[in-house]
Amino acid sequence: MANNSTSAPKHGQYLSKTTSRCVAGSVTAMHDFVVTSFSLIEGMGTGKFVSSATFTVGGRDWNIKLYPDGIYTEHKGYASVLLYFLKGAAEIRAPKLLPPKDDSFTIKCVLTVVDDPHTQDVSASTVIVPQSKLHQDLSHMLKNGEGADVTFSVGAQLFPAHKCMLAARSTVFKAEFFGAMKERDDQCIKIDDMEPTIFEALLYFVYTDSLPDGCSSDENTTMQHLLVAADRYRLERLRVMCEDKLRHGVDAQTVATTLALAKQHNCAQLKDACIRFIASRDILDAIMETDGFRHLEESCPLIREEISDKVATFRSREDESAATLVMQE
């Protein structure tokens, strides 16, 4: 009879047991590369490119390069887009693209970086802590209106909410509900100067610290109104989020109204982005003929001179930078 090297445990004995597991994680992020006036860069030559800013995903640096006339001569008639991994030799090539019909467009890059898998020892005392879902719980509470003690009437819609939550997030709400300027004991507060969709997005941010997914339709106009609401209720993070989206989405049609908004609400970075856009594309004269600029000039009579001075300053800096590069070469 053959010997079996593994004998069954005797009665009352326990087998020792160890466990290990393979762990692999990933990080996903999105970067938008906005291209305006494509017709001005089309024809720059095969193999020549314009590049996005460097962005970081998964602890690694990346950028997007757009070749308006393709990478190689056989790509004539096509524009190519490449995603480059800057800290190494790896690169990911996106499909070639036909030159877009619209002169302005956005290249959206959704990138997932997978970490190197590693092995962990798992003992009986290991405790797996679940991911926080506080924002989901609060969003659910807002949606269901559970425990709501105030209602806002905006347009034809009603929005139940919680005074303590609002007061904890906004000093303006805190003053209205609990300060010397607190509202009467009315349980319904009417807001006449805001669209329901904007107030709904504002409430969603208050409860979740993020923007709702459906906040992208007619995004520029939505972000403008939401920035005004954020400034009104002193929600600084939301104001900066809106400012950043507007800064990256500025174009020839919206730059005048966006600049007016930036001046009105003291958004210095957004203001500079608008003026840099005008200066870099040499479209100041065309912008000044738009209705948006005429409205801006009515409220800010000196804006024409201010923009001209800023444009001259930016161009002077660009000339100095170019001269420095020539000297270094």
The pLDDT of residue 248? 84
Domain containing residue 186? 146-235
Residue 325 banded pLDDT, cuts 50, 70, 90: very low
Range in 18-22, 181-185, 325-329 with the lowest mean pLDDT:
325-329
Q: What is the CATH number of the domain that holds 49?
A: 2.60.210.10
172 and 205 co-located in one domain: yes
In a domain, 130, yes or no: no
Q: What is the CATH number of the domain that holds 275?
A: 1.25.40
Task: Concatenate the DSSP letters of all residues of 31-60 into one string.
Answer: EEEEE--HHHHTTS-TT--EEPPPEEETTE
In a domain, 72, yes or no: yes
Check whether 18 has a pLDDT greater than 90: no
Q: Which residue has the tokens 């161009």?
A: 315
* Residue 72 backbone dihedrals phi, psi, to 5 degrees: -120, 165
Separation of alpha carbons 223 and 210, rounded Å: 13
Separation of alpha carbons 226 and 204, rounded Å: 12
The pLDDT of residue 89? 45
* Contact assessment for residue 64 and residue 107, using Cβ atoms and an 8 Å cutoff: yes
205 and 159 co-located in one domain: yes
Which of 182, 205, 235 lies at the terminal end of a domain, its last residue?
235
Which of 94, 115, 136 lies at the terminal end of a domain, its last residue?
115
Check whether 232 has a pLDDT greater than 70: yes
pTM of this structure: 0.57
In a domain, 327, yes or no: no
In a domain, 325, yes or no: no
In a domain, 242, yes or no: no
| pLDDT one-digit tens code per residue, 157-200 | 999 999 999 999 999 999 989 887 665 556 789 999 999 999 99
In a domain, 309, yes or no: yes
| pLDDT one-digit tens code per residue, 257-284 | 888 888 889 898 898 888 878 776 667 7
Answer with the residue of higher pLDDT: 86 or 151. 151
Q: What is the CATH number of the domain that holds 216?
A: 3.30.710.10
In a domain, 16, yes or no: no
216 and 255 co-located in one domain: no
257 and 201 co-located in one domain: no
In a domain, 11, yes or no: no
Mean pLDDT of 14-26: 75
Count of structural domains, the chain:
3
- 120: how many CB neighbours lie within 10 A of its CB? 11
The pLDDT of residue 326? 47
